[in-house]
Amino acid sequence: MIGSEQVIIPRYLKIAVHLSGRIASGEIKEGNKLKGRSVLSTEYSVSPETIRRAMSILSDKNVVEIIPGSGITVLSKENADQFVKSFKDDESVADMRSRLSHIIEKRKSIDEEIASLTQRIIDMYKYRRTDLITPVEINLPHNSHVIGKSIGHLEVWHNTGATIIGIIHDRNVIISPGPYYEFAEKDKVLIAGDENVIERFNSFINGLL
């Protein structure tokens, strides 16, 4: 599942970063030779091939120089520092991407739950109130006088007889909005009532009542 995903960093890259950190801190000096692959593989509990790949990365970044038959020499403390910082930036971006994916997945789940609850509420109204027809979704006119005003202030039920059972706002569904909810542009209002109620509500939001 996305919620349990972790950013997996190859072992050889971790070793390259760790050695770069030691060089950047001054623990390993420029001009010094690093230990041989067999010694490093024992120290890090990995295969010599893993050490070879780590050294290859450091060589590409000009942190070390690999001279066949002569060993591995530290070239640049500055390049080591830049490599460590670059890695941390990349790791941070990867982590944020993973978290974003998780949040998006959670939002999808919430949207699905909202849709399910909305349908249940609609079904309950249809079951309990035989005098009401299937709830209707009405778009607010962009210049409606109700925009920016609360349901309570407008006395919607008193003026129209409409029961507002939901508001679709920015693709989010607000179930049973209270009297303090203020209508916003592009809101879609989910109301329940007979034909006369729907007609009165449309007239009301268009300023005809």
Q: What is the CATH number of the domain that holds 37?
A: 1.10.10.10
Residue 110: inside a domain: no
Q: Which long-range contacts (CB under 8 A, 24 or more apart) does 163-168 make?
A: 163/125, 163/132, 163/191, 163/192, 163/193, 164/189, 164/190, 164/191, 165/121, 165/122, 165/125, 165/135, 165/190, 165/191, 165/192, 166/118, 166/121, 166/135, 166/190, 168/137
Residue 3, pLDDT score: 41
Residue 87: inside a domain: yes
Residue 115: inside a domain: no
137 SS3 class: strand
pLDDT digits (tens, 9 = 90+) for 97-124: 767 777 778 888 887 887 777 777 666 6
Share of the chain above pLDDT 90, in %: 45
Residue 109: inside a domain: no
Is the pTM higher than 0.75? The answer reads: no
Residue 102, pLDDT score: 76
Residue 2, pLDDT score: 40
Residue 119: inside a domain: no
Residue 128, pLDDT score: 53
Say whether pLDDT at 66 is over 50: yes
Number of domains observed in the structure of the chain:
2
Residue 163: inside a domain: yes
Residue 79, pLDDT score: 92
Q: How far is CA 136 from CA 10, 126, 188, 194, in A?
A: 55, 12, 10, 10
Q: Which of 76, 97, 118 is the last residue of a domain?
A: 97
Q: Note whether 77 and 146 are same-domain residues.
A: no
Residue 113: inside a domain: no
Say whether pLDDT at 138 is over 90: yes
Q: Would you place residue 37 in the very low, low, confident or very high pLDDT band (cuts 50, 70, 90)? A: confident
Q: Note whether 85 and 162 are same-domain residues.
A: no
Q: Would you place residue 208 in the very low, low, confident or very high pLDDT band (cuts 50, 70, 90)? A: confident
Residue 174: inside a domain: yes
Q: Note whether 137 and 77 are same-domain residues.
A: no
Domain range for 138: 129-205
Q: What is the CATH number of the domain that holds 143?
A: 3.30.70.1450
